[in-house]
Amino acid sequence: MADFGGDTELEAFRVEAAAWLKANFPASLKGKAAMANAEGTGPTDPDYQAWKKAIGDKGWATPTWPTEYGGGGLSVPQARVLGQEMAKAGAFNPLTFGMGITMIGPTILDYGTEDQKKTHIPPIVKGEVRWCVGYSEPNAGSDLASLQTKCEDKGDHFLINGSKIWTSGAQYSEWCGCLVRTDPSAKKHEGISFILLDMKQKGVETRPIALIAGDSPFCETFFTDAVAPKDALLGQLNQGWTVGKRLLQHERASQTGAAFGGRQVALQDVAKKYVEVDDAGRIADPDLRTRLTRHLMDSRVHNLTLARAAAEAKNSNNPGSAASVLKNSATHVAQTRAELTLEIMGAQGLGWEGADFSPEEIEAVRGWLFGKAMSIYGGSSEIQNNIISKRILGLPDTTQST
């Protein structure tokens, strides 16, 4: 991977990235990232499919991944520049809507054997397969370590029985990264393994969960004598809790765009488009200016913490303690940005559809509504605070009677 850090090299790459985007990103998709995902237009829109193929073939859907597996091979500064140019063009990464490049792929790169990387990473890079994550169970949600899906060693294969719930996209997925219990006699955080499971087999059944809004991204998933070969084990046997935590670390990096820096238009620039500015070009409302500044500071602190977590993990397969705070930090930053965006847009930030609202305005309100779920999925904010207090800070469990 080339390390382009100098201004001259980065500016040359910026010109290259802008030219490639102009030639390959369909203008019809500008500002339609959220709608393509929420409305399901991606699978049938020819422009969407052309864009998905172009960015997948280029490797820029996974810009910093190794070129030997189909990734872009870019340095982190180059990837940041690419993200900035995509934001300017109103472009989006069509593969971030699945869990392949945001969660499973990076975890395979961290823990996978060479055969696992060669088998699974190239199709993820090109968006040719869809992955889901089998974590939560009916009796093991935020307390995930209580999971009971049984995985038995049958000599030349594993046999899996049990169920998962809230499995996002399971009905569409070809593969699942699944946490299973391989040693029922061990302590609950031990005896867990991470299996790469083929979803298109007779022993796997998915049932979409109907939501009040209509279509659902969530499923119940049932395993009845599902089979996985022995080489489907990701990481070491009975060490899946560590692998599972690393996957969540990658998920949290993706939630605020940190895995693909610069994707979002700067909020201060959005503000200057909608609200009054003073003679110095500043936002005229001092209260809004103060709250926006605080948000930008929080966002910067979050990204620095994310960088520290990545540095701690660079030479270790054990996620550091900094990773534990990132879920709540990411939620706070993303939800605050969404609230400020709607406030800044005023009435224009309340449109669901129609010619009176721009694609960016419609995306803002849909993103605001979707972002409410961040406080719940991936482990609720309250559960995360309990984990931080007990497992990181070592505080006593005040819920237990004395």
Q: Which of 85, 137, 251, 361 is catalytic?
A: 251
Q: Could you state, in order of their start, the residue ranges of all structural domains in the chain?
A: 7-97, 131-240, 265-392
Q: Are 221 and 165 in contact (CB under 8 A)?
A: yes
Top pLDDT among 214 and 267 is at: 267
Compute the average pLDDT of residues 85-96. Answer: 86
pLDDT for residue 39: 44
38 falls in which pLDDT band (50, 70, 90)? very low
Which has more pLDDT, 17 or 366? 17
Maximum C-alpha span of the chain: 75
The mean of the pLDDT values for the chain is: 85
Token pair for 266? 């700067």
pLDDT exceeds 90 at position 20:
yes
| 3-class DSSP state of 394 | coil
**What's the confidence (pLDDT) of residue 397?**
75
Whether the per-residue pLDDT at 170 is higher than 70: the answer is yes
pLDDT tens readout for residues 110-149: 999 999 999 999 999 998 999 999 999 998 877 788 999 9
251 is a catalytic site residue: yes
pLDDT in the model for residue 29:
86
pLDDT tens digits for range 273-296: 898 888 888 888 999 999 999 999
Q: Which of 1-5, 92-96, 292-296 bottoms out in mean pLDDT, i.e. has the lowest?
A: 1-5
For residue 16, pLDDT beyond 70: yes
The predicted pLDDT at position 353 comes to: 84
> Residue 99: is its pLDDT beyond 50?
yes
265-392 maps to which CATH number? 1.20.140.10
- Both tokens of residue 272? 């200057």
pTM over 0.95, yes/no: no
d(CA 95, CA 174): 15
pLDDT band at 3 (very low <50, low <70, confident <90, very high): very low
First to last CA, the chain: 56
- Relative to beta strand 131-134, strand 175-181 is parallel
pLDDT at 383: 77
Q: Which pLDDT band holds residue 2 (cuts at 50, 70, 90)?
A: very low
What's the CA gap between 231 and 199, in Å, rounded?
A: 16
CA atoms within 13 Å, Cβ hemisphere of 396: 5
pLDDT of residue 178: 97
What residues are paired with 29 via a beta bridge?
none
Residue carrying the six token digits 């993303």: 334
Least confident of 36-45, 67-76, 159-168, 249-258: 36-45
pLDDT of residue 119: 97
Q: Round to whole Å and give the CA distance between 44 and 134.
A: 27
User: Per-residue pLDDT for 260 more than 50?
Assistant: no
Architecture category of domain 131-240 in CATH: Beta Barrel (2.40)
Question: What's the Cα-to-Cα distance from 396 to each of 144, 320, 400, rounded to whole Å?
Answer: 21, 21, 9
Residue 323 class from Cβ within 10 Å (0-12 exposed, 13-18 middle, 19+ buried)?
Answer: buried
The string of pLDDT tens digits covering residues 171-216 is 989 999 999 999 999 988 899 999 999 999 999 999 999 876 556 7
Exposure string over 198-237, b if 16+ CB within 10 A, otherwise e: ebeeebbebeeeeeeeeeebbbbbbbeebbbeeebbbbeb
What CA–CA distance (Å, rounded) separates 325 from 298? 13
User: Which H or E run includes 184?
Assistant: none
